[in-house]
């Protein structure tokens, strides 16, 4: 990011007890000979004694267990009265990641000695001042830390006994010298809203847009309460990178990261990584021979809706998806899995997955034809694996246990509904197996019933999730001339009536509290209102409008971010079962929420409300792509997988455990949360692990970004 923090120099005026000292004590460690036990990158030992305080001027040890040692030769024996130690690094104007445990040793008469005063345990400050009641005579000192590396030492200052010592670096008062400017790191779609956040730009601040490395102003605007809008800037030239420069107030001008503006830019940037994620994350046959959880996708479960999200994505983006390069080969994957020497990496609840995968390849017809898109192969895999083994067990402590879950059966409705768009890739026999299973199981698992269970932050039981599947089955039943078609419509009507009567949008557990599953309800309500307005229960339009009003009110802030409630911006941090207190991560909620905004915008009759919903929806994609207090992409692999992204999520999940999604293209890792808003960019990272459910929500968000009117297929004759 083009946010520069000035290197601080030693100030020659010091104020203490009302007395002004013109020349404080000289740092006798400055530019002395120094050696380190290890060095990481270009952060060499001499940078710890050069008098500068900046990220560029630090010593870093290697990334290993301690002890890590930095030795300073003072050149001669000196009576030491004070040592100041500054550790950590600057993140958006604040020093963080201090060294927790260290000591200073003194070289006396050829021996290294400890001093109890010069030891720190469980240190919480980046600036530590050690004052000695009596002079300590030494010709060398050394800093020693047993912390796990990299240990970060910005500066060590040593002062002689009996002098006036300069004040230790006031880290808590360190502020930005330039305006921080947060944009979508990749870029903006030409006809979408285009907004950015400059959180410290209060009062009168202005901004200009120029091409990268150019001073010619192409656009001027004002920053209003930290928020800038350049939606009406629609350049015709393609392939250009732009930057935003903000000026005004007490800070110096600050410049954003470069970004592009193109027609359909974000839809294009997001689409292929979304498809590749679903391809890579498949159990057994993807990028890792494992199946954490035992579902078709690693770390998937009955409520994570990977296959439906792929269907929605394909229906919306079919022309572009069909043009993507084909990377997977059904026959090659079959040969690999059927090989007696194939080794599955065993994990939780996957005892039958290899057997199921082999049944998939031997009991079901494979995809048909040449040049079958990878997205279609993934859809085939998902529905096929559920056909051969529909019983699943959520690995995260679900009391429902191993069974055929209603939400598993509901997924089949999406495949059947969208079938006319991809029927050339499937045999009649495969389709009939899916059809028979869905209609046989629908009543057994309770999908005709009014489902009143409301889930928790885990996202297992989104209220109203059965509305869209029932309406889709209504269409499928009519397509086949079934006499029970009306039963599916009535089930959707009753479930919708329950939502109208019983759900309170003011309670966040019915909205953002559903985490990555929230999209299931509102897209279903809009699907009903769009396609069956005459059969929709009375009050549905009003219920949808109420939702829009509340979501718009909760998004009234400099980030255009829909808050959880008036107290929290994201899911509350310390929730039961939230990964040992590290807190829920929200990327799936951010990724899916645009679908709700875009869908509702198509049915609201208020033009201003429609425009604001689109604005808020786009802002949530922007948030995933860097318009957030960290200024980073949600994915740790962001710069690798998404075009134009400079920085990914800073904290990487541990390698080779659980679902191994760190090996998968397009993974969303984590997000900024309540503790970072409205602008507190000190990294207190929540759980950084990706989840296939987050990316499934991302698919739905992208699908509605491509086609805000939702899923629609051309009707076809009976199979």
Picking from 159, 313, 180, the residue whose alpha carbon sits closest to that of residue 254 is: 180
Q: What are phi and psi of 518, to 5 degrees?
A: -55, -35
CA angle 525/544/527 to nearest 5° reads 25
Residue 330: Cβ-neighbour burial (10 angstroms; 0-12, 13-18, 19+) = middle
Q: What pLDDT shows up at residue 203?
A: 77
What's the confidence (pLDDT) of residue 715? 64
Reference 223, options 244, 245, 207; nearest CA is: 207
Contact 475, 431 (CB under 8 A): no
Question: Is the pLDDT reported for residue 519 higher than 90?
Answer: yes
Res 111: pLDDT: 94
Confidence check: pLDDT of 13 > 50: no
Whether residue 172 has pLDDT greater than 50: no
Mean pLDDT of 496-514: 96
Q: Which pLDDT score, from 0 to 100, does residue 115 have? A: 94
Written as six digits, the tokens of 20 are 């002004």
HSE toward the beta carbon, residue 115, CA cutoff 13 A? 24
pLDDT higher than 80, residue 53: no
d(CA 89, CA 96): 6
Going by C-beta distance under 8 Å and a sequence separation of 6 or more, which residues neighbour residue 427?
365, 368
Over its C-alpha atoms, the chain yields an Rg (Å, rounded) of: 29
DSSP for residue 339: S
User: How does residue 686 score in pLDDT terms, banded at 50, 70 and 90?
Assistant: confident
Q: Which residue has the tokens 């911006």?
A: 569
- Judged by DSSP in three states, 182 sits in strand
| % of the chain surpassing 70 pLDDT | 93
pLDDT digits (tens, 9 = 90+) for 236-275: 999 999 999 999 988 889 999 999 999 999 999 999 999 9
**pLDDT tens profile 343-365:** 999 988 888 999 999 999 999 99
**Contact (Cβ atoms closer than 8 angstroms) between residue 234 and residue 190:** yes
d(CA 631, CA 1): 8
The pair of structure tokens assigned to 284 is 């057994």
pLDDT of residue 175: 55
| Contacts for 558 with CB less than 8 Å, ≥ 6 apart | 197, 199, 225, 226, 227, 678
Residues 6 or more apart in contact with residue 322 via CB below 8 angstroms: 373
Whether the pLDDT of residue 23 is over 70: the answer is no
Residue holding tokens 């056909």? 387
Residue 164 is predicted with a pLDDT of: 79
What is the structure's pLDDT at 685? 81
Task: Let me know the angle formed at the C-alpha of 556 by 500 and 200, rounded to the nearest 5 degrees.
Answer: 160
| DSSP-assigned letters across all residues of 585-596 | --HHHHHHHHHH
Output the DSSP codes for 48-80.
GGSS-BSSSS-EE--SS-S-EEEEEEEEEEEEE
Q: What is the pLDDT of residue 398?
A: 87
- 691 backbone dihedrals φ, ψ, rounded to 5°: -150, 135
pLDDT at residue 651 in the model: 85
Whole-angstrom CA distances from 452 to 464, 489, 583 are 8, 18, 27
Give the closest residue to 57 by CA, choosing from 177, 144, 156, 141.
156
Using one digit for the tens of pLDDT, what is the confidence trace for 416-427? 999 999 999 999
Of residues 701 and 13, the one with the higher pLDDT is 701
CA–CA separation, 40 vs 107, rounded Å? 26
Structure tokens belonging to residue 383:
């529905």
- Rounded to an integer, the average pLDDT of 635-651 is 94
What is the reported pLDDT for 123?
A: 86
Q: pLDDT-derived band of residue 7, with 50, 70 and 90 as boundaries?
A: very low
Looking at the DSSP bridge assignments, the partners of residue 71 are: 35, 142
Helices 519-531 and 467-479: crossing angle, nearest 10°? 40
Q: What pLDDT sits at residue 19?
A: 26
The answer to whether residue 575 scores a pLDDT higher than 50 is no
Q: Is the pLDDT of residue 6 over 90?
A: no
Mean of per-residue pLDDT scores for the chain: 91
Euclidean distance between CA atoms 56 and 689, whole angstroms: 30
């Amino acid at each position: 990011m083009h946010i520069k923090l000035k290197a601080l120099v030693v100030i020659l005026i010091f104020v203490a007890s009302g007395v002004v000292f013109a020349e404080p004590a000289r740092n006798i460690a400055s530019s002395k000979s120094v050696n380190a036990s290890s060095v990481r990158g270009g952060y060499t030992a001499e940078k710890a004694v050069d008098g500068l305080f900046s990220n560029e001027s630090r010593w870093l040890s290697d990334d290993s267990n301690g002890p890590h040692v930095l030795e300073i030769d003072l050149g001669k024996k000196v009576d030491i009265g004070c040592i100041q130690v500054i550790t950590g690094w600057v993140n958006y104007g604040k020093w963080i990641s201090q060294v927790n445990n260290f000591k200073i040793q003194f070289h006396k008469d050829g021996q290294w000695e400890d001093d109890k005063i010069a030891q720190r345990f469980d240190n919480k400050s980046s600036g530590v001042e050690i004052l000695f009641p009596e002079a300590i005579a030494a010709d060398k000192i050394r800093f020693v830390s047993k912390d796990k590396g990299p240990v970060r030492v910005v500066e060590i200052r040593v002062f002689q006994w009996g002098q006036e010592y300069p004040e230790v670096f006031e880290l808590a008062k360190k502020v930005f010298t330039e305006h921080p400017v947060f944009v979508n790191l990749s870029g903006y779609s030409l006809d979408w809203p285009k907004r950015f956040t400059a959180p410290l730009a209060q009062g009168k601040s202005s901004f200009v847009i120029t091409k990268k490395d150019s001073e010619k102003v192409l656009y001027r605007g004002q920053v209003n309460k930290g928020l800038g809008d350049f939606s009406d800037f629609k350049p015709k030239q393609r392939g250009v990178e732009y930057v935003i420069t903000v000026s005004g107030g007490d800070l110096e001008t600050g410049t954003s990261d470069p970004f592009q503006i193109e027609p359909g830019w974000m839809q294009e940037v997001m689409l292929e990584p979304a498809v590749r994620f679903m391809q890579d994350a498949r159990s057994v046959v993807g990028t890792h021979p494992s199946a954490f959880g035992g579902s078709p996708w690693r770390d998937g479960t009955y409520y994570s809706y990977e296959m439906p999200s792929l269907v929605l994505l394909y229906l919306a983006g079919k022309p572009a998806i069909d043009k993507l390069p084909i990377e997977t080969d059904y026959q090659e994957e079959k040969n690999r899995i059927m090989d007696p020497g194939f080794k599955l990496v065993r994990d939780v609840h996957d005892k039958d997955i290899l057997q199921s995968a082999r049944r998939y390849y031997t009991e079901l017809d494979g995809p048909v034809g040449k040049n079958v898109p990878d997205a279609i192969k993934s859809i085939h895999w998902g529905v096929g694996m559920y056909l051969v083994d529909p019983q699943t067990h959520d690995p995260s402590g679900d009391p429902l246990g191993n069974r055929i879950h209603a939400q598993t059966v509901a997924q089949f409705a999406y495949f059947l509904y969208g079938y006319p768009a991809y029927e050339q890739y499937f045999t009649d026999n495969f389709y009939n197996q899916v059809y028979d299973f869905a209609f046989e199981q629908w009543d057994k698992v309770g999908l005709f019933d009014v489902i009143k269970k409301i889930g928790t932050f885990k996202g297992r039981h989104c209220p109203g999730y059965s509305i869209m599947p029932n309406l889709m089955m209504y269409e499928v039943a009519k397509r086949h001339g079934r006499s029970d078609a009306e039963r599916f419509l009535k089930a959707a009507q009753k479930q919708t009536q329950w939502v109208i009567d019983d759900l309170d949008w003011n309670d966040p557990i019915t909205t953002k509290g559903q985490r990555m599953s929230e999209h299931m309800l509102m897209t279903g309500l809009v699907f009903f209102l769009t396609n069956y307005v005459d059969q929709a229960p009375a009050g549905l339009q009003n219920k949808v409008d109420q939702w829009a009003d509340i979501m718009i009110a909760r998004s009234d802030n400099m980030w255009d971010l829909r808050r959880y409630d008036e107290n929290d911006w994201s899911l509350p941090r310390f929730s039961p079962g939230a990964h040992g207190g590290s807190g829920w991560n929200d990327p799936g909620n951010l990724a899916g929420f645009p679908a709700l905004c875009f869908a509702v915008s198509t049915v609201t009759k208020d033009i201003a409300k429609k425009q604001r919903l689109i604005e808020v929806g786009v802002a949530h994609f922007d948030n995933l792509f860097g318009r957030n207090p960290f200024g980073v992409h949600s994915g740790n692999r962001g710069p690798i997988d998404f075009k134009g992204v400079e920085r990914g999520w800073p904290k990487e999940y541990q390698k080779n455990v659980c679902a191994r999604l760190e090996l998968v293209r397009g993974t969303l890792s984590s997000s900024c949360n309540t503790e970072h808003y409205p602008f507190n960019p000190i990294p207190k990272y929540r759980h950084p692990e990706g989840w296939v459910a987050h990316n499934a929500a991302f698919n739905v968000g992208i699908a509605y970004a491509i086609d805000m009117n939702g899923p629609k297929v051309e009707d076809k004759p009976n199979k």
